[in-house]
Amino acid sequence: MKYWLAVASKDHVKNGIAQGIAQAYHGKAAPLKRMAKGDFIIYYSGKQTLGKTEKCQKFTALGEVKDDKVYDYQVSDNFCPSRRNIEFIPSRDTSVLPLINDLDFIENKQNWGYQFRLGFFEINRHDFELISSKMLNNNV
Protein backbone atom coordinates (compact mmCIF):
# COMPACT_ATOMS: atom_id res chain seq x y z
CA MET A 1 0.00 0.00 0.00
CA LYS A 2 1.25 3.44 -0.95
CA TYR A 3 0.15 6.95 -0.15
CA TRP A 4 -0.02 9.73 -2.74
CA LEU A 5 -0.45 13.47 -2.70
CA ALA A 6 -1.92 15.26 -5.72
CA VAL A 7 -2.25 18.99 -6.19
CA ALA A 8 -5.27 20.67 -7.80
CA SER A 9 -7.43 23.72 -7.22
CA LYS A 10 -10.29 23.18 -4.78
CA ASP A 11 -12.95 23.62 -7.47
CA HIS A 12 -11.38 20.82 -9.53
CA VAL A 13 -11.02 18.57 -6.49
CA LYS A 14 -14.68 19.00 -5.56
CA ASN A 15 -15.68 18.13 -9.16
CA GLY A 16 -13.55 14.99 -8.89
CA ILE A 17 -15.20 14.02 -5.61
CA ALA A 18 -18.65 14.42 -7.17
CA GLN A 19 -17.61 12.15 -10.07
CA GLY A 20 -15.64 9.66 -7.95
CA ILE A 21 -12.49 10.17 -9.99
CA ALA A 22 -8.93 11.41 -9.71
CA GLN A 23 -7.03 13.32 -12.36
CA ALA A 24 -3.48 14.50 -11.88
CA TYR A 25 -0.84 16.63 -13.53
CA HIS A 26 -3.11 18.20 -16.18
CA GLY A 27 -4.69 14.90 -17.14
CA LYS A 28 -1.50 12.91 -17.71
CA ALA A 29 -1.74 9.12 -17.38
CA ALA A 30 1.76 8.48 -15.96
CA PRO A 31 1.10 9.65 -12.37
CA LEU A 32 -2.15 7.69 -12.18
CA LYS A 33 -0.41 4.54 -13.41
CA ARG A 34 1.89 4.70 -10.38
CA MET A 35 -1.07 4.04 -8.09
CA ALA A 36 -2.56 0.60 -7.40
CA LYS A 37 -5.87 -0.65 -6.05
CA GLY A 38 -5.93 -0.07 -2.29
CA ASP A 39 -3.54 2.89 -2.34
CA PHE A 40 -4.68 6.16 -0.79
CA ILE A 41 -4.63 9.67 -2.25
CA ILE A 42 -4.85 13.05 -0.57
CA TYR A 43 -5.47 16.22 -2.56
CA TYR A 44 -3.87 19.52 -1.65
CA SER A 45 -5.36 22.74 -3.02
CA GLY A 46 -3.15 25.80 -3.04
CA LYS A 47 -5.91 27.85 -4.67
CA GLN A 48 -9.68 27.94 -4.44
CA THR A 49 -10.21 28.20 -8.22
CA LEU A 50 -8.00 27.38 -11.21
CA GLY A 51 -6.61 30.53 -12.78
CA LYS A 52 -7.53 32.81 -9.88
CA THR A 53 -5.42 34.08 -7.00
CA GLU A 54 -7.59 33.34 -3.94
CA LYS A 55 -5.58 31.02 -1.70
CA CYS A 56 -6.89 27.81 -0.19
CA GLN A 57 -3.75 26.13 1.26
CA LYS A 58 -5.70 23.11 2.50
CA PHE A 59 -5.90 19.38 2.06
CA THR A 60 -9.28 19.05 0.35
CA ALA A 61 -9.95 15.36 -0.36
CA LEU A 62 -9.03 11.91 0.85
CA GLY A 63 -9.76 8.68 -0.96
CA GLU A 64 -8.84 5.10 -1.80
CA VAL A 65 -8.02 3.80 -5.28
CA LYS A 66 -10.92 1.48 -6.21
CA ASP A 67 -9.41 -0.59 -9.04
CA ASP A 68 -6.41 -0.97 -11.33
CA LYS A 69 -7.90 0.88 -14.32
CA VAL A 70 -6.55 4.09 -15.80
CA TYR A 71 -8.83 5.32 -18.55
CA ASP A 72 -9.23 8.32 -20.85
CA TYR A 73 -12.34 10.49 -20.72
CA GLN A 74 -13.21 12.93 -23.49
CA VAL A 75 -14.07 16.24 -21.80
CA SER A 76 -14.00 18.43 -24.92
CA ASP A 77 -12.72 18.34 -28.49
CA ASN A 78 -9.20 19.19 -27.36
CA PHE A 79 -9.04 17.69 -23.85
CA CYS A 80 -9.09 13.97 -23.07
CA PRO A 81 -7.58 13.48 -19.58
CA SER A 82 -6.70 10.19 -17.95
CA ARG A 83 -8.64 9.25 -14.82
CA ARG A 84 -8.76 6.75 -11.94
CA ASN A 85 -11.79 5.65 -9.96
CA ILE A 86 -11.55 6.74 -6.33
CA GLU A 87 -13.71 5.97 -3.31
CA PHE A 88 -13.64 9.32 -1.53
CA ILE A 89 -13.97 9.31 2.24
CA PRO A 90 -16.07 12.07 3.84
CA SER A 91 -13.57 14.48 5.34
CA ARG A 92 -13.08 18.12 6.16
CA ASP A 93 -10.75 20.57 4.48
CA THR A 94 -7.65 20.90 6.64
CA SER A 95 -5.10 23.72 6.60
CA VAL A 96 -1.52 22.76 5.81
CA LEU A 97 -0.14 25.63 7.92
CA PRO A 98 -0.24 24.01 11.41
CA LEU A 99 1.16 20.74 9.97
CA ILE A 100 4.20 22.08 8.10
CA ASN A 101 6.75 21.42 10.86
CA ASP A 102 5.56 17.83 11.33
CA LEU A 103 5.37 16.74 7.68
CA ASP A 104 8.41 14.78 6.50
CA PHE A 105 7.89 15.51 2.79
CA ILE A 106 8.34 19.24 3.45
CA GLU A 107 12.11 19.41 3.87
CA ASN A 108 12.50 23.18 3.75
CA LYS A 109 9.99 24.48 6.28
CA GLN A 110 10.50 28.14 5.28
CA ASN A 111 9.78 27.44 1.60
CA TRP A 112 7.13 24.82 2.39
CA GLY A 113 5.10 25.40 -0.78
CA TYR A 114 7.93 24.33 -3.07
CA GLN A 115 7.25 20.59 -2.73
CA PHE A 116 3.68 21.02 -3.93
CA ARG A 117 4.94 22.32 -7.27
CA LEU A 118 5.68 18.70 -8.22
CA GLY A 119 1.92 18.22 -8.62
CA PHE A 120 1.89 14.51 -7.70
CA PHE A 121 4.19 12.51 -5.44
CA GLU A 122 4.37 9.67 -2.93
CA ILE A 123 4.30 10.46 0.78
CA ASN A 124 5.22 8.23 3.70
CA ARG A 125 2.80 6.58 6.11
CA HIS A 126 3.57 9.05 8.90
CA ASP A 127 2.59 12.02 6.74
CA PHE A 128 -0.52 10.24 5.44
CA GLU A 129 -1.66 9.36 8.96
CA LEU A 130 -1.02 12.89 10.26
CA ILE A 131 -2.95 14.57 7.45
CA SER A 132 -5.79 12.04 7.32
CA SER A 133 -6.26 12.10 11.10
CA LYS A 134 -6.87 15.86 10.91
CA MET A 135 -9.17 15.50 7.89
CA LEU A 136 -11.23 12.78 9.55
CA ASN A 137 -11.41 14.47 12.98
CA ASN A 138 -15.04 15.23 13.92
CA ASN A 139 -16.36 13.19 10.97
CA VAL A 140 -17.28 10.08 12.91
Q: What is the pLDDT of residues 45-74, one digit of tens each?
A: 999 998 899 999 999 999 999 999 999 988
Query: CA 133, 22, 57, 54 torsion: positive or negative?
Result: negative
Residues 6+ apart with CB under 8 A from 123: 3, 4, 5, 42, 104, 105
Single pTM value for the model: 0.93
CA separation for the pair 40, 62 (Å, rounded): 7
Q: Which CATH number covers residue 24?
A: 3.10.590.10
How far separated are the first and last CA of the chain, in Å rounded? 24
CA separation for the pair 125, 1 (Å, rounded): 9
Residue 138, pLDDT > 70, answer no
Give the number of domains in the chain. 1
Residue 77, pLDDT > 90, answer no
Q: Cβ distance 129 to 103 under 8 Å?
A: no
